[in-house]
Amino acid sequence: MRRILFTLTTVAICAYSCLREPSAVHPVSEKSPVKASIEQMVGTKTYLDDMQVNWSDGDRIVIFAGTSSGSIYKVSPQSAGSTYAQFTYEGDLPGYGSHAIDDCVAVYPMNESAGCQETSSGDYKIAGLSLPSRQLYQEESFADESFLMTAVRDKDSDEPYSFRNVCGGLKLQLYGDCSVREIEVQGNNGELLSGNVYITASPDGEDPVMTFQSGASKKTVLDCGSSGVRLKKSEVTDFIISLPPVVFTKGFNVIVRDVLGREMMLNTSKTNTVLRSSLLKMPAATFSVIPADQDVIYSLDKNHCSATYAEIDITFGEKCQTAFHYTMKMDAPNADKKLEGARTYYEGDQEERRALAQYLSSFGFSLTPSAPGAVCDTTWVEYALEPDTEYIIAYCCTDSDGNLSEVFFSEPFWTKPLNDDYEANKSDISLEFSEISRTSLKFNFSYDPENTAVLKFICIKNTGMDLHQAYGGEIDIPSADASQKALHNFFDDMANSLFMNVWPKSASGSDTYTLVGLEPGSEIAYAYMAEDMDGILSEVKVAEAVMKEDKPGPDPEVRIDPVWNASTGIWTVTFSMVKDCSKFKYTLNCDDNMFLARLGTGDMRAYEFYNHWDSFVTAYGLETSYDSVTATSVPDEDHVALAVSWGKNAEDKDVVSGLEYIILTKDGQMMKISDYYPSYIEK
């Protein structure tokens, strides 16, 4: 195994580095010692740690030195603990016949079943490997023999082997007062996570690719031993799990089990990606167990509460089917005066509380656990609270039989006063526009995630529409150079408008937002501001942009850009206007009526495919005037991407382009009709 040494805390940029020490070694064919270095890990998502990956004592690799027969090499004790190590010959692998290959290929970890075969494309297929479904916990590291790596070197070279990581990983951070027995990871959309694999390694520097074989599993477990790993209340404990490069298209579940058999589930339904040679880091969580007399807990996160914003931590128990809640003012009417102040119920009798439970179950905010029947956590965000006001969270739940519990209450809490000392605001918010096209632009927000509670932004100029009419006709809309007083008054006037964008902060310190459907050539201005965690408002800033105004012309052109994801077997295809376009139609299709199965056969002539596809997309394609759109393929199916575009001639008559198309195979190849019919001349 390799240990991961965490040397810095959060930084902002991912960087790959490959450490190589240029000292000579003897040819491996002589069974002499060899040297090898490791590609360094990077972190992804919310936070980023600077990490160093080292060889450890006992590590073994297999080298195929210009031959398909492998030899075993073991790290020398004196070089363990380094990114650059010397390995000594131990013996040969049994069971494989020998034939020559063009390069030297190495793989970690050593597996006696490993074999190497050179493919027709010049790559190397290394079989007989596995990504274990049960990994044994190692402190601050991956489990032994769970993090696959490979290296390819010219067989005549004496350079060290430069190993490249095949896997990625998940880093889980836990607080608590228990001992963790095991951690199970499983995708929400059947993603393969462990089992027998082979690796395709390239001599040309391309990333190594892992492919699962039959019988692969959809989960992996980190085994922490019968005694477990003891958590601490005030200091985070890290758990690192090796995973294949994978896109969790519907999120994933993490189930943490302690030595007493209790479970906590961490779940996300958002798309998350584990990249090769990278760690996906989950936010720190606390292992919590629900008291026996109730089956859901709501509590305020006191470190994330400002004047109008509060984060509420929710823990669901095994019996909770649906939870209901309302964040209530203690001493003022709630729910449009349908409820008294919360103190009436908090200090009231059983009948008053029962009435509140009935109201919450009918009109309160409801949440359903992501995995009913298991303990799991989530967070609820309030971002329209009144400043300097005492609140309490009232909540109840139903079980699987529909039985309603009594009402429970969180601890009362006060929101902070709202402060307009703009210069003291710590949010450090900025907004820049990018990807400005004819009809869309992208907002790029950045801010201090520790000191920002909520972002607000609203349009104050759009020459492509009548904003006064949209806003109701009675609102004074300030100009971009208006005073801070006028801009803040506008935010106050529009506070409850559907046009006011109110976004709770995210942990990343950045957010993006794409606005579409704009008029070409229009002038756009958005005002934006923030409230920090001390309840201090920022000044109102304004970002401006002018949309592009490319007029339709006589030679319209649209472009098709496919991107293949080998780990998911999915194509992502972008269709984009190039020039002279007023609109285009497009489709990404794998239906039988595309006749893809007939390509290369005598059933249809080459030009018939082109003519059929041209007619199909012109008649049935999806129409858009946006500059670009994206579509994704279905795994394990061949597809064809089609597009035609419209322009205008000098007489303002429609001009239709010829068909643009690309055939996309289920194994990641881009083809044309002429690839199937060599005599066909592409139009």
Exposure string for 145-158, b = 16+ CB within 10 A, e = fewer: bbbbbbbbbebeee
Q: For residues 14 and 281, what is the distance between their CA atoms, to the nearest angstrom? A: 13
- The domain spanning residue 604 has which CATH number? 2.60.40
On whether both 367 and 439 belong to a single domain, the answer is no
The verdict on residue 149 lying in a domain is yes
DSSP 617: H
Q: Cα dihedral sign for 443, 447, 449, 455?
A: negative
On whether both 162 and 189 belong to a single domain, the answer is yes
The verdict on residue 436 lying in a domain is yes
The verdict on residue 552 lying in a domain is no
The verdict on residue 291 lying in a domain is no
CB 222 within 8 A of CB 130: no
On whether both 193 and 276 belong to a single domain, the answer is yes
Q: Which residues of the chain have pLDDT under 50?
A: 1-30, 43-50
On whether both 218 and 119 belong to a single domain, the answer is yes
Contacts 24+ apart (CB under 8 A), 417-421: 417/307, 417/387, 417/388, 417/535, 418/307, 418/308, 418/387, 418/388, 418/531, 418/535, 418/537, 419/307, 419/534, 419/535, 419/536, 419/537, 420/488, 420/536, 420/537, 421/536
The verdict on residue 125 lying in a domain is yes
Q: For residues 107 and 129, what is the distance between their CA atoms, to the nearest angstrom? A: 9
Q: What pLDDT sits at residue 84?
A: 86
Q: What pLDDT sits at residue 47?
A: 28
On whether both 385 and 433 belong to a single domain, the answer is no
On whether both 624 and 664 belong to a single domain, the answer is yes
On whether both 216 and 260 belong to a single domain, the answer is yes
On whether both 354 and 456 belong to a single domain, the answer is no
Phi, psi of 247 (to 5 degrees): -105, 115
- Kindly report, residue by residue over 325-354, the tens digit of the pLDDT: 999 999 999 888 889 999 999 888 878 888
DSSP letter string, 380-401: EEE--PPTT-EEEEEEEEE-TT
Q: What pLDDT sits at residue 11?
A: 23
Q: For residues 324 and 336, what is the distance between their CA atoms, to the nearest angstrom? A: 18
CA 579 to chain centroid, in Å, comes to 33
On whether both 118 and 19 belong to a single domain, the answer is yes
Domain count, the chain: 4
On whether both 194 and 323 belong to a single domain, the answer is no
On whether both 125 and 199 belong to a single domain, the answer is yes
Of the three residues 384, 414, 444, the one that is the final residue of a domain is: 414
Reference 201, options 229, 235, 166; nearest CA is 166
Residue 478, both tokens: 């300030």
User: 679 in helix, strand or coil?
Assistant: coil
Of the three residues 258, 286, 314, the one that is the final residue of a domain is: 286
On whether both 155 and 232 belong to a single domain, the answer is yes
Q: What pLDDT sits at residue 513?
A: 85
pTM of the model: 0.48
Residue with tokens 């920022």: 538
Instruction: Quote the domain boundaries for residue 659.
Output: 557-676
Reference 535, options 681, 382, 387, 350; nearest CA is 387
The verdict on residue 244 lying in a domain is yes
The verdict on residue 426 lying in a domain is yes
> DSSP E strands: which ranges in 34-99?
34-38, 42-44, 51-53, 60-67, 71-75, 84-92
Residues 191, 193, 197, 200, Cα dihedral to 10°: 70
Residue 434, both tokens: 């990018």
Of the three residues 546, 575, 595, the one that is the final residue of a domain is: 546
The bridge status of strand 510-515 relative to strand 441-446 is: antiparallel
Q: What pLDDT sits at residue 289?
A: 58
Q: What pLDDT sits at residue 546?
A: 96
The verdict on residue 292 lying in a domain is no
- The domain spanning residue 485 has which CATH number? 2.60.40.10
